[in-house]
């Protein structure tokens, strides 16, 4: 399923969300408009490493970030493995991979670094490397 946020098209695997497309799009629109900080959607996480990383990302509150190293420590793995799993996130924005950043910079994002920056600014998060 596709949706548009801040002028960018994003693709998600809606089969992992127990809601219809209209509900998902409505919640994304409410988030973009600033009327919603969290998504009220039941997500079915994959039963693998990517799912474990997705669960960790889902625990990062809006307006905060964690580094790839932070999540790697939590999951007892390597930061590069966390980065690869973030890149496989089938539910970008809804499961907030944009909140995972490098120690000193934003680094990779499937929607592009400008969208990642825009999402973090929208949430009021500190952006590494922009001090």
Residues labelled catalytic: 97
Contact 69, 107 (CB under 8 A): no
Burial label for 77, CB within 10 Å (0-12, 13-18, 19+), is: middle
Whole-number Cα distances in Å, 36 to 39, 52, 74, 112, 130:
7, 25, 28, 23, 26
CA angle 68/122/49 to nearest 5° reads: 30
């Amino acid at each position: 399923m596709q949706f548009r946020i801040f002028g960018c098209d994003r693709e998600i695997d809606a089969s992992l969300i127990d809601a219809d497309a209209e509900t998902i799009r409505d919640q994304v629109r409410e988030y973009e408009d600033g009327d919603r900080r969290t998504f009220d959607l039941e997500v079915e996480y994959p039963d693998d490493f990517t799912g474990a990383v997705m669960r960790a990302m889902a625990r990062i509150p809006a307006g905060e970030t964690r580094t790839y190293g932070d999540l790697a420590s939590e999951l007892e793995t390597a930061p590069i493995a966390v980065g690869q799993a973030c890149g496989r996130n089938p539910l970008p924005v809804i499961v907030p991979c944009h909140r995972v950043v490098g120690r000193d910079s934003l680094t990779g994002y499937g929607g592009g670094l400008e969208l990642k920056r825009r999402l973090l600014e929208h949430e009021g998060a500190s952006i590494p490397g922009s001090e």
